[in-house]
Amino acid sequence: MHPGVNCISFTGGDTGISISKKAGMIPLQMELGGKDACIVLEDADLDLVAANIIKGGLFLQVVLVMESVADALVEKVKARVAKLRIGPPEDDCDITPVVTESSANFIEGLVMDAKDKGATFCQQYKREGNLIWPLLLDNVRPDMRIAWEEPFGPILPVIRINSVEEGIHHCNASNFGLQGCVFTKDINKAMLISDAMETGTVQINSAPARGPDHFPFQGLKDSGIGSQGITNSIDMMTKVKTTVINLPSPSYSMGSSGSSIRSRI
């Protein structure tokens, strides 16, 4: 709100929305988190899907998988989760403590809500201080908080769907729209689903990820405003100014080439 501020770039969550409400006419560029939807079709390479779920760190996602392949995918993810190393970062572990006790308490609240509402726990829930063991939650329903809220911890909800339209609907019903992904061997289906998903970026057959800095990165809805990336950031920090020169007589002649040359000079 200081008069010396002429643009704001911010990464966060609810704080960013609060800033945007106070910014008035100041240009904004914000990345405010997400709940990335991963839509898995029947023809997907399930080993590839499972690998990318782990590659994505089990964060920020909700897996929307067709019922016919859900059992197989869950088993493959469970097998990979069992191989993860859990502990302090100095031991080069895969899963390390979350940053604060309040974060751990928030994650635990999402887990307990899912438990009370009947989600299937594929591992035993385990927590020591701020360290939370990875947990795959199967048979998650839309009435569970974990289906919509971003845990920022190693908790992955799996929602079984019976149609592509059901998956797209869940994706678009979220107040977030940062990234998403689609797993299928049919490029035509992939592009149709990508077009329908209300997210800033859609990865086909890969986990959500930041691209190189020249690659636009933006969120829709509560996931942000503006677009990051070198060119986009420069544009955000640039104001266009136009100067129009109005001469008392025409600045060029329709006559000889010599006149035209003199006019240009």
Residues 6+ apart with CB under 8 A from 77: 50, 53, 54, 122, 136, 156
Residue positions annotated with a catalytic role? 31
